[in-house]
Structure 1
Amino acid sequence: MVDLSAEMAELWASLGAPAAGAGRIVQFIAARRGEGTSTVARELAHFAARRAGRSVWLVDLDLLRSPQHAAIAAEPERYGPLSKPAGASPDGSAFFTIRPPGADAEGRPIPDAAWLAAHQVGAGRLWVTRFRREALQGGRSVHVLPTPGYWRALRAHVDLIIVDAPAADRSRAGLTVAPQMDQTVLVVAADQSDVSAPAKLKDAVHGAGGQVSGLFFNRGQVEAPAFLKALLP
């Protein structure tokens, strides 16, 4: 695995540390799959929790796969072992809904928030979410919502919320939640030479009501190279 410690320190500095008592939400998204967005989001969360001493939640928008939970679980020696699942909503709200609604064995409705678990990573201040896909049966599907309730509730309890969005070429989840994010960072792989896809994604984020605050040039440098700087505001 490539060591991104130096890049994470620079990225953290460029984003600016969250103010005391005011949780910040930063989304990472790429135009196309394979750009390394999940790695960047996970490593920044790890850095912020361990080196910057902040409480951090890593929220995975790829609900049906939950790759962040899987990646952290696969490397306990690096990140720490995962705790037993806990509730991931401070107030019972959720950023998604299940259709048709789920019901327990006695026919009582299952609230949407019950489908999302959170696991503490090691003994530190990092938590990662996991959607309970194994309980999704009977032709049910999950839909990400544009509503602010969950994000507002979570930011009241956490210093930094890092949102890992699936690539825009396979999901609109990142665009759906973009208006609720304080910052959205576009991730571009180091060998990417075509700027059209990131440019279109930047416009799409703005069109959805979000703000693109920067670009992370993955496996190269935090600052965008000259040919990509024109994409940024």
Structure 2
Amino acid sequence: MNRVGAVLALAGGVGFLVVGVLHGSLPQDGGDVLRHVAMRSDWSLVHLVAIGCALAWVGAFTVLARSLPDERSRGVGRLAAAASVAGFAAFIADAAIDGVALKRVADAWAATGQESLFQVGSVIVRVLEGTHAAFITWFLGLPFLLMGVAVVLGGRWRWAGWVGAVAGGATFLGGVTRYLGVLEVPEPVLFAGPILVSMLWLAATGVLLWRDS
């Protein structure tokens, strides 16, 4: 079972990094966002692949939680796995809005130039501000914080646990600032900083799981 978790961790961590690079950052202006999305023929596919990568690491978290050596660490690990499932739901919602709804409105606006479609697109972009805050906090942040703590408590890979906990905690705080609208950390900083570390940590955890299997 550990080897299954190892493969899922590697696929989820590395795959999500690649998808993140392919996705890139959205422009700030509403019209620029719609033009950018309309020009991307791969936009919906990128989001679909991202969902698959994210699902892989939900599975990896479940296996990792079961592999921990004592009841205390397994308990925190199970909490992390449960948090990843809840966060995954928020991520699916965000990916569906960004990858499907926004894409269809952007394509229609690019073809017709209708002002009403521009207004709808602007509303969708605003909605995405909320869904981004949700999945950054509850999917990219809290589960990694909890799983890092669980690994520290387990004692086998304590150094790795601290890396995961710190990266997850930083991402969680970055997401909370987006909720509160105070000292908001720009998304490019989050994704190039603690989220990047979390994905590398996930892949490294996969290697450790494989070695211990």
Q: What TM-score, normalized by structure 1, do the two folds share?
A: 0.25
Higher helix share: 2
Q: Which has the higher strand share?
A: 1
TM-score with structure 2 setting the length: 0.27
Structure number with greater Rg is 2
